Amino acid sequence: MATQDIVFYIGTRRIACFIGQVEDGRPQVLRYKDCINPQGFEGGLVTNLEDACQSIESLIESVGCPRPSGELRAHVVLGNAKLKTYTFTSSQYYNGQRRSITSHEVRACIEQTKSVATLPLSEYVLQAVPESFLVNDMADVRNPLALEAVRLGVNLKIFTMEFHHYRNLSKSFEMLDIDVLGYFPKNLVQSEAVLTDQEKQEGTLFVDVVDDMTHLVLWKNGYLSGSRYIPIGGHELTKSIAEQWQIGVHDARRVKEQFAGYEVPKGFEQELIPLVDRNGKTNRSVTRQEFSVQFLMQAKDWMGKIMAEAESFARDEKLFYPHYVFTGGPVSPQGALEFIHREFECEARLGQVRKVEAPHELLVDTALGGGLGMYYWLAYCAPDNERLLESRGVLEKTLSSARDWLYTYF
């Protein structure tokens, strides 16, 4: 029986627990549960430790997560505005002595790069992923193992988070006896799982729209080139609805989720939309036609701000004709892509996770793509990194140590 892999997703407005497995390189999600606006969390960060623990515990119970004796083991995917991405490079020169590269040299080069990376002291390293290697004078080498070299360098992508926010999150899992095997940024695992190799090579802007922000992730020439957060998310559109109709934000969110769309259903133009509903009684209403006309104008202004920031980011990174891939709840309603095509002359697609078996409603819900992306990462990305870093055995360790000693003293 395949070992079950447990994944937690901590997003800006939702948290989720997934039960799945990766058997014979085939990732599969068996079941999941999510919670919107969980107690103890705000914007993907812990604001009340006790309430956060209760929210996670409730997810574990509702999803039927197995609790064997001892700690529960899981991977955690994080989506919040405190995540940052850096690229650092360093190399090692082997005193002119040519050597065959093993995982020992790869690990040593990566550790050196991490040690010299000038990160802010307030940040904690979540993941350090080798992007490419320099072997002698040959750049962009994906796998240097067994190549002959007198110099080995690495381009290392480092993902961080402010330490005190990370520590509060990690405490919530420690208090529940959950052994976290790794904390992964959503932008890494989801974009890897959503984009095709061709899109990564030709240049793609991955646009993840969530409640209080939009995360831009840019890929070009096959690499994650950079990322940027902008403080414009679905909540800004909610506030625009509240201001337009002079209603509270809570009512505006309900109306948006139930009735806002990028096209008016035929035959329902005169349907009355309850703007204010108290105990099942409508206190104020407008026709769907009137609401939709106003909503489309608000949506155009809102999406225009996001597109302007995205285009500016792409120009800064010298990418002039990117693919656009959108994810997130605010861009999931029917007609959203057609609206973007029509209003901004932008060819785009929704970012659904590839090569992962899961319930249909989960596959089409791009807001939970971070959790799904973790299973893609475990199946397709993690093995490649492990092959680079795993020692081939005691003999390799002994030979590598002896060789380092000889090169140092003779």
Cα 398 versus chain centre, distance? 39
Mean pLDDT of 75-81: 95
Give percent above pLDDT 90 in the chain: 72
**Residue 150: per-residue pLDDT:** 95
Question: Rounded CA gap, 352 and 233, in Å?
Answer: 19
**Residue 388: per-residue pLDDT:** 86
Backbone dihedral region for residue 159 (phi beyond 0: left; psi -120 to 50: alpha; all else: beta): beta
Question: Rounded CA gap, 323 and 344, in Å?
Answer: 14
* Intra-chain end-to-end CA distance of the chain, in Å: 53
Q: Which residues of 181-203 are buried (b: 16+ CB within 10 A; e: fewer)?
A: eebbbbbbbbbbbbbeeebbebb
Q: Which of 214, 205, 172, 166 is nearest to 367 (CA)?
A: 214
SS3 212: coil
Question: Rounded CA gap, 372 and 86, in Å?
Answer: 24
DSSP 269: T
Cα 262 versus chain centre, distance? 26
Q: Which of 8, 62, 34, 3 is nearest to 362 (CA)?
A: 34
46 vs 280, residue with greater confidence: 46
Mean pLDDT of 223-239: 92
Question: Rounded CA gap, 406 and 410, in Å?
Answer: 6
Question: Rounded CA gap, 34 and 18, in Å?
Answer: 9
Q: How many CB atoms lie within 10 A of CB 247?
A: 17
| Residue 329 predicted with pLDDT over 90 | no
pLDDT, tens digit, 9 for 90 and up, residues 338-372: 999 999 988 899 999 999 999 999 998 888 999 99
What percentage of the chain's residues is helix, strand, coil (to nearest 5)? 40, 35, 25
| pLDDT band per the 50, 70, 90 thresholds, residue 407 | very low
Burial label for 75, CB within 10 Å (0-12, 13-18, 19+), is buried
SS3 344: helix
Q: Where are the domains of the chain?
A: 83-163, 229-350
Q: Which of 383, 382, 384 is nearest to 182 (CA)?
A: 382
Q: CATH fold of 83-163, please? A: Dna Ligase; domain 1 (3.30.1490)
Question: Rounded CA gap, 206 and 355, in Å?
Answer: 18
Q: Where are the beta strands (DSSP E) in 163-213?
A: 178-185, 204-209
Backbone dihedral region for residue 230 (phi beyond 0: left; psi -120 to 50: alpha; all else: beta): beta
Burial label for 93, CB within 10 Å (0-12, 13-18, 19+), is exposed
Question: Rounded CA gap, 165 and 303, in Å?
Answer: 30
Phi, psi of 69, rounded to the nearest 5 degrees: -60, 140
Question: Rounded CA gap, 312 and 217, in Å?
Answer: 13
Q: In the numeric block, which tokens belong to residue 298?
A: 């608000």
DSSP 368: G
SS3 337: helix
**Residue 396: per-residue pLDDT:** 52
Question: Rounded CA gap, 285 and 260, in Å?
Answer: 14
Question: Rounded CA gap, 209 and 303, in Å?
Answer: 10
| pLDDT band per the 50, 70, 90 thresholds, residue 401 | low
DSSP-H helix ranges across 30-162: 49-63, 103-116
Residues in a beta bridge with 158: 86, 128
Report the predicted TM-score, pTM, of the whole model to 2 decimal places.
Answer: 0.89
Mean pLDDT of 398-407: 51
Choose the weakest-confidence range: 126-130, 199-203, 282-286: 282-286
Choose the weakest-confidence range: 26-30, 196-200, 381-385: 381-385
**Residue 279: per-residue pLDDT:** 73
Residues in a beta bridge with 15: 10, 35
The CATH number given to 229-350 is 3.30.420.40
Q: In the numeric block, which tokens belong to residue 168?
A: 């509060």
| Residue 96 predicted with pLDDT over 80 | no
| Residue 212 predicted with pLDDT over 90 | no
Using an 8 Å Cβ cutoff, are 10 and 340 in contact?
no
pLDDT, tens digit, 9 for 90 and up, residues 123-163: 999 999 999 999 999 999 999 999 999 999 999 999 999 99
| pLDDT band per the 50, 70, 90 thresholds, residue 403 | low
Using an 8 Å Cβ cutoff, are 371 and 358 in contact?
no
164 vs 277, residue with greater confidence: 164
Q: How many CB atoms lie within 10 A of CB 23?
A: 13
**Residue 304: per-residue pLDDT:** 96
Question: Rounded CA gap, 353 and 20, in Å?
Answer: 15
Residues in a beta bridge with 182: 75
| pLDDT band per the 50, 70, 90 thresholds, residue 100 | very high
